[in-house]
Amino acid sequence: MISNNNSSCSQQTKFNLVQVKGTWIRQSDQFQLAEGKLSDAKIYENKSEHGVSWTVVSPVVFTYRVIQCKNILDPTNDTLLWGHLGEEELKHTLSNCKPPKRFVVIDENVNKLYGSQVSQYFKARGVVYKILPLPTTEENKCMELVTKILEEVHEFGIDRRSEPIVAIGGGVCLDVVGLAASLYRRRTPYIRVPTTLLSYIDASVGAKTGVNFAGGKNKLGSYVPPVAAFLDCSFFQTLPPRQISNGMAEMLKMALMKHRGLFELMETEGRKLLHTKLQVCKTRPEQEDSATAIIRIAIETMLEELAPNLWEDDLDRLVDFGHLISPELEMRILPALLHGEAVNIDMSFMVYVAVQKGLLTVDEKNRIIQCMLSLELPVWHQDCTLELVQKSLKERLKHSAGSLRMPLPTGLGTAEIFHGMIGDGILCQAHKKWTDELSSSGDK
């Protein structure tokens, strides 16, 4: 192709890439000289009077599994060991005579509850394994923790393609291990086993990894999904009620953004599910119970939003609702608020902004706030000042390509992303009403 640019001529040729007997060969569309394995990658060669340049277009495809299962630590259950493999991969792996190896990072509190079962599982399966318990809290979410994991992995020794690192714990554990795995040998597969509700429906099903840095939440990280996430809700039985509420905030986020049915389910059944810790209680086998439904819809809606935009090339993201103010608030008063609690305070304020902008009715606002309170979530905090709100939105503007990209509810289960900066008048009025009406609810 010939094109003119500023009075200079350039010629562009597109090349396909074909692998023949182990060697990649570039071929133009006009001259297909050999047959072999065709890559999705393309090379575009531009020749001009200034020389030659090449543009490489190489699609990166990740395939990962999100599997709900029961009794994952039962030695007769294959999921933890082989659930990440497809049928053909499993046949190939099982034909190997050497025993499998697994390096496991487990949150130290989870280790006290389940560590012996994890050990018994791998012993019963003849696995060579090492378990590394770590204090994976938000305060410790740093590169030092990542380095500790990498040093231990290096000493233990694993095959960087066939022996995935296993992370068992809450969101911090999954994030930190994911970052370590993405760095070791430039990318080592890893498996996520979430043990909190929040990580079950949020951190475990996406691609993001990260640690806190320079006082900012998740300032260092990567976009590398696990090969699999194994979801077993029986872990919820040992969680305190506050941790169940914490996870329900992320569920409510998805309900408000895109699923009225989920909101209505949480509105009517949420409090009961909180106190039963979302354990399945089926009276009619053919009918989906409310615990199963609420978890399924939350995961499905989350995957719908994450899968087309794993690398966040598009900064317009509905899942950012509740995440404009909460990072600053959460880090400022760490460890006073859990992540989901900070998110809920953010959402609560944004509901008032939506009312002030005429997007929600007062009745819809009242239903949302009442639902939050029924889930025992904080709806206001004294440290979420107007100044903090304004600072957070300015930071958002700075790091979102000059556009605010603020998701706001426009009804129960519908939303829109707004790009312009919200006027100080609206923010001030919304903050005043929010404080006047909800400050008596107290803060955690």
pLDDT digits (tens, 9 = 90+) for 249-260: 999 999 999 999
Q: Are 331 and 345 in contact (CB under 8 A)?
A: no
Which residues have a Cβ under 8 Å from the Cβ of 347 and sit 6 or more positions away?
249, 252, 253, 256, 321, 322, 372
Q: How confident is the model at residue 286 (pLDDT cuts 50, 70, 90)?
A: low
Amino acid 8: pLDDT: 56
pLDDT of residue 2: 42
pLDDT tens column, 132-176: 999 999 999 999 999 999 999 999 999 988 999 999 999 999 999
Distance CA 37, CA 99 (A): 33
Residue 1, pLDDT above cutoff 50:
no
Buried b (16+ CB within 10 A) or exposed e, 83-93: bbbeeeeeeee
SS3 25: strand
The Cα–Cα gap between 329 and 393 comes to 12
- Phi, psi of 334, deg, nearest 5: -50, 135
Q: Is 389 in contact with 381 (CB distance < 8 Å)? A: no
| 79-130 tens-digit pLDDT | 999 999 999 999 988 888 889 999 999 999 999 999 999 999 999 999 999 9
**CA neighbor of 365 nearest in space, from 387, 383, 347:** 347
Give the residue with greater pLDDT, 391 vs 442: 391
> In DSSP terms, which residues pair with 418 in a beta bridge?
406
**What confidence category does residue 296 fall into, taking pLDDT thresholds of 50, 70 and 90?**
very high
Instruction: Report the alpha-carbon distance of residue 147 to residue 143 in Å, rounded.
Output: 6
Using N-to-C axis directions, what is the helix angle for 386-398 and 424-438, rounded to 10°?
A: 140
Under the banding of pLDDT at 50, 70 and 90, the label for residue 192 is: very high
To 10 degrees, the CA torsion angle through 423, 345, 365, 304?
90
Active-site option among 98, 101, 123, 208: 208
pLDDT tens sequence across 219-251: 999 999 999 999 999 999 999 999 999 999 999
The total of other beta-carbon atoms located within 10 Å of residue 432's CB is 13
Q: Is the pLDDT of residue 283 over 80?
A: no
Average pLDDT, the chain: 94
Residue 160 has what pLDDT? 85
**3-class DSSP state for residue 319?**
helix
Q: What are phi and psi of 36, to 5 degrees?
A: 180, -155
Question: From CA 161, how far away is CA 400, in angstroms rounded?
Answer: 35
Q: From CA 300, how far away is CA 201, in angstroms rounded? A: 9
Q: How many CB atoms lie within 10 A of CB 216?
A: 12
Q: Is the pLDDT of residue 7 over 70?
A: no
Per-position DSSP letters for 282-303, written without gaps between them: -SSTTS--HHHHHHHHHHHHHH
Catalytic residue status for 98: no
Residue 329's pLDDT band, with cuts at 50, 70 and 90, is very high
336: Cα within 13 Å, side-chain hemisphere: 17
Question: What's CA 86's distance to the chain center, in Å?
Answer: 23
Q: Strand 101-107 vs strand 165-169: parallel, antiparallel, or unpaired? A: parallel
Q: For the chain, what percent of residues have pLDDT higher than 70?
A: 96
